[in-house]
Structure 1
Amino acid sequence: MKCFRGDLSDDDLDWLEKQASKGIGAKQKLPDLIVVNKTLLVEKITNPKAVDFYGNKITSHFSKCSLTQDPGAFLTIMACELQKFSTWIGFVGPDYLPYFNADLQCISAALNEKGTD
């Protein structure tokens, strides 16, 4: 792993590209999104037919976007990632229904016992 500090340089992006190209499964081990100081983001490209906002085919494993150069794209990507994350939480989060149903059954049984005395 590598720790990035401050801004991401072209050397850092080259390092990410090399890591993603190491072999089967290497790309999956890298982060989907890297946000640097709320001004720059690097997004992992998972679709082999991906195009950028201008319609150009993306040939790299990562796409860089700057808040100052393209604020619309930056905010769109951030909103999309937040939506994916919030949806994902619904699928992988714990199922509390049995837990709360057991509580309700205990409460109901206790109330029934009290009412029959």
Structure 2
Amino acid sequence: MSDDAVLSRLKLSIDSHTRVLICCHDTCRFAISPSPAQVSEHLRKKHNTPAAERRQVTDLLKARIPALRDPSDAPVRQDGSSPDPNLHLVPGFTCKFCIERTGSSQVMSRHTASTHEE
């Protein structure tokens, strides 16, 4: 079975631009860590995926070259770009001093205080 077929069957997708793994289940629709152990745990806990199917995905991820990015290392999407249908659109906050973005006002407050403190 092809890599795409394995991922598609489990409602996973790889964003070709950012090289991140996305869980496309309606209850998730967010990028997940590409760590095989964390993907397996996510599929087990959130989607009750059987061990044999999880193993197919973890084997695929271990063999993948180039490796996928952690979502925290992915580039920020351009302003005005169309939304990715595989991802939930999250309202959030943009730093007034740089391009930092987050969905949490607390994270933005900490960022501003630690990075832009005079």
Scaled to the shorter chain, the TM-score interval is under 0.3
Higher radius of gyration, 1 or 2: 1
- Larger RCO of the pair (alpha carbons < 8 Å, separation 6+): 2
Q: Normalising by structure 1, report the TM-score.
A: 0.23
